[in-house]
Amino acid sequence: MLCKLIGILLVSMTPALASAQDPTREEAAAFIERAEAELLEVWQDSARASWVQATYITEDTELLAAKASEKSTALAVQLAQEAARFRELDLPYDLDRKLRLLRLALTVPAPNNPEDTRELALIETSMESAYGRGKYCPDQETCWDLQVMSKMLVESQDEEHLRTVWKGWRTVSPPMRDDFTRYVELGNKGARELGFDDLGAMWRSQYDMPPDAFAAELDRLWEQVKPLYDSLHAYVRFRLRETYGPEIVPADGPIPAHLLGNMWAQQWGNIYPLVAPADADPGYDLTEQLVAKRTDAEEMVRYGERFFLSLGFEPLPETFWARSLFVQPRDRDVVCHASAWSVDAGDDLRIKMCINITGEDFSTIHHELGHNFYQRAYMDQPTLYRGSANDGFHEAIGDTLALSVTPAYLKQLGLIEQEPEPSKDIGLLLHMALDKIAFLPFGLLVDQWRWRVFSGEVSSAQYNQAWWELREHYQGVVAPVERSEADFDPGAKYHVPASVPYSRYFLAHILQFQFHRALCNEVGYEGPLNRCTIYGSEVAGARLNAMLEMGLSRPWPEALEAMTGETEMDATAILDYFAPLKAWLDEKNEGHPTGW
C-alpha cells in the first residue's frame, strides 16, 4: 500500500541458508530467490488485513492487522539480518542491490525479539486507528470528524469558529503521546540492530547516497525555492490582514495557522478567493463546475483514469472499481486519509479515499491513480524491485498529470466553456502556488522534527515545543492558541501516527515540475509551462512509462534520466513555472514587509 509501505518479508529461513560459514555467491542467489518467491504470499496477507482495518475500524480488525504486521515485521527483520552475511561477497549487480534493499525494506524495523515486535505492531496499528476514528465533540449532541472540520476551515471566515475547529482537531492526539514515545524507542532499537545510527538515519539511507548527503540535498533544494516562498508568504499575510484585521494578522510576524484553509496550513489553495487578484482572476472555479455537472465520486475517478488512458496506459481492472472505497461510509469509522494500494503487489489495485466533489480532490484523485499506474508498471519486476525509483517519485507521478489539468484540457472535457486569456495567468499561477509553493516548507519540516526526535536531540518533554519552533522557522506560521507539552500537535497530522516518512512529498513537489517540463519538451510544447497539457500524448506516455516500468531496479538518477535526460533533482523547473508570478508578487509586496 502507498502511502504506508508495508514491510517486505519472508517466511522462515531454511537451515542451509542460515548457516554461518563461508557464504557463497550461489547461496546468496538462492537466498534472494527464495526470499522473493515466499515474500509475496505473506505480504498479501498483511496488505489484506491492513485494507480491512483501514476501511472498517474495529477492535477486531485492529488486532488482526497488528498480528499480520507483527508477523511480517518479525520476518523482514530476520531477513535483513540474514542478508548481512553476504555483504562482504563480490556479487553481481542485482544480487548486491537486492541484498541492500532487504536491509531497508521496513519503514520501522522492530528489535529482533517477539515481545518488542508485538508491542511495536500493536502501537502502530493503534495510533493509526486512533487517528482514523478521531472526533471532536463541541457539545453532547455534536461530534465532528476530520472531514467535517476540514470543510469548516475552507468555508468559514469567522475567526473564532476557525480557532475552535483548529483546536478541536488537536484534542485527538494527546492520547497518542506515550505510545509515540515508546514507538520511537522501539524503532530506534530496531534500526540500530540493523546497523543504522537511529531510525532517522535509516530513513535518510533510502536514496542511493549517504544519509548526510541526502539531508544536504534537501537543504540545497530548499534554498533554491525559499525566495519564492517568502514572496508568497508576504503577499498572503498582507491580504489576510485586510480580511481579518491587524489584531489577528501581524504586519511582519508569522501567520496564525488557522486562517490558511487547511488543518495543517500545508496547502493554501482553499483561500484563493480571499487573496485572488482583482484584475487577473481566471473566472472559473473547478469545484463549482464539477458540482454544476452533478459529478459523483466515481465519475471523478473516471476523469483521472481517462487521463492515463489518453497517454496510452491500459484501463484499470474491473476489480479496481468493485473493491475501491470512494465514499466515506456513514455507518462505520474508516481511515479517510487518501491512499492507493496494490493488495497483491500485482493488478489488485485500489484506492481508499473519502472523495468530496471539489477541485482539490480532483487533483488528489490523479495523485492516487499515479501510485496505482506506477504499481502496475513495475509489477513484472522481481518482488524486491516493485517500488519507485525513490519514494519522491511515487508521490510525484499523479501530481505531474494534474499539472496538465489546464484550462485547455478542462475545455476539451466540457468542464469550462472558454479558456481565460493569457492576462489571467497570474490568477492561475497564484492558485497553483498556494498549493505547491506553500507546501514546500511543510514538506520539509515534518521529518526535520522526526529526525530530531529519533536522534534524541528532541526529547519527549520537548515534542510540541520543537514542532512549533520548526513550524515557525520554516513556514512562518504560529499556533492561534497557547500550546504546551500537554498537547501533541505532530500526532494530529496523519503521517506521524501512521508512520509514513514525509520528505518524499517535498521531493515530489520539486520533481513533479521537473517531470512536467521534460514531458512538455517531449511533446514539442514551447509556451508558458502552466498552459502545457500532455493530455492525449502517447509520446509523453511512453516517456513516462520508460521510467515507471524500471521500478526500483536501478538507482534513482538513472530512472530520472530515462524520463528527463537529467540525473539530478532540480528546482529550476518549479522556479521557471512560477517566474511570472514571482515578479508579480514582488511588485505587489512593495511597501509590505517580507519575512517573519
Q: What are the catalytic residues?
A: 337-338, 367-368, 371, 395, 495, 505
Taking 3-state DSSP, the helix, strand and coil percentages for the chain, each rounded to the nearest 5, stand at: 60, 5, 35
356 or 364, CB closer to ligand X8Z?
Answer: 364
Question: How many angstroms separate the CA atoms of 240 and 511, rounded?
Answer: 30
Query: Do 416 and 289 meet the contact criterion of CB atoms below 8 Å apart?
Result: yes
Binding of Zn ion by 391 (CB under 5 A): no
Q: How far apart are CA 88 and CA 97, in angstroms?
A: 13
**Rounded to an integer, what distance in angstroms lies between the CA atom of residue 351 and that of residue 320?**
8
Phi, psi (rounded to 5 degrees) for 145: -95, 180
The closest of 145, 61, 534 to 337, measured between CA atoms, is 145
Give all strands (DSSP E) within 544-585, no chain letters. Answer: none
* DSSP structure class, residue 86: G
**Chain centroid to CA 292: how far?**
30
C-alpha distances out from residue 450 to 67, 329, 342, 376, Å:
26, 33, 28, 31
Strand segments, DSSP code E, in 97-256 are 135-136, 144-145, 255-256
Shorter beta-carbon distance to ligand X8Z: residue 205 or 339: 339
- Decide if residue 364 touches ligand X8Z (CB under 6 A): yes
Name which of Zn ion, ligand X8Z, none residue 339 binds, using a CB cut-off of 5 to 8 Å depending on partner kind.
ligand X8Z
The residues that bridge with 351 in the sheet, in sequence order, are 340
Q: How far is the CB of 550 from ligand X8Z (least distance, A)?
A: 21
For Zn ion, the closer of residues 395 and 487 by Cβ is 395
Identified binder of ligand X8Z from the candidate list 1, 3, 191, 255, rule CB under 6 A: 3
Rule CB under 6 A: which of 365-424 touch ligand X8Z?
367
Q: Which is nearer to Zn ion, 363 or 564 (CB)?
A: 363
- Total chain residues near ligand X8Z (CB under 6 A): 6
Written as nine digits, the cell of 88 is: 562482504
Q: Which stretch binds Zn ion (CB under 5 A): 44-52, 263-271, 395-403, 543-551?
A: 395-403
Span of 41-49, 200-208, 387-395, 454-462 interacting with Zn ion by CB under 5 A: 387-395
The site partner of 505 among ligand X8Z, Zn ion, none (C-beta below 5 to 8 Å per kind) is ligand X8Z
Of 203 and 235, CB closest to Zn ion? 203
Q: Which of 70, 145, 395, 570 binds Zn ion (CB under 5 A)?
A: 395
At residue 58, what are phi and psi to the nearest 5 degrees?
A: -140, 170
Under rule CB under 6 A, residue 339 binds ligand X8Z? yes
* 338 touches ligand X8Z (CB under 6 A): yes
C-alpha cell at 15: 537451515
Which one of ligand X8Z, Zn ion, none is in contact with 537 (Cβ closer than 5 to 8 A by kind)? none
Which residue number is nearest to ligand X8Z in terms of Cβ? 3
Least Å distance, CB 146 to ligand X8Z, is 12
CB of 395 to Zn ion, least distance (A): 5
CA atoms lying within 13 Å on the CB side of residue 108: 29
Strand-strand pairing, 477-478 and 255-256 = parallel
Q: Does 505 bind ligand X8Z (CB under 6 A)?
A: yes
Distance in Å, CB of 163 to ligand X8Z, minimum: 22
Minimum Å distance from CB 371 to Zn ion? 6
Q: Which CB, 75 or 403, lies closer to ligand X8Z?
A: 403
Cα distance between residue 29 and residue 37, in whole Å? 12
Residues that bind Zn ion (CB under 5 A): 395
Interface contacts to ligand X8Z, rule CB under 6 A? 3, 338-339, 364, 367, 505
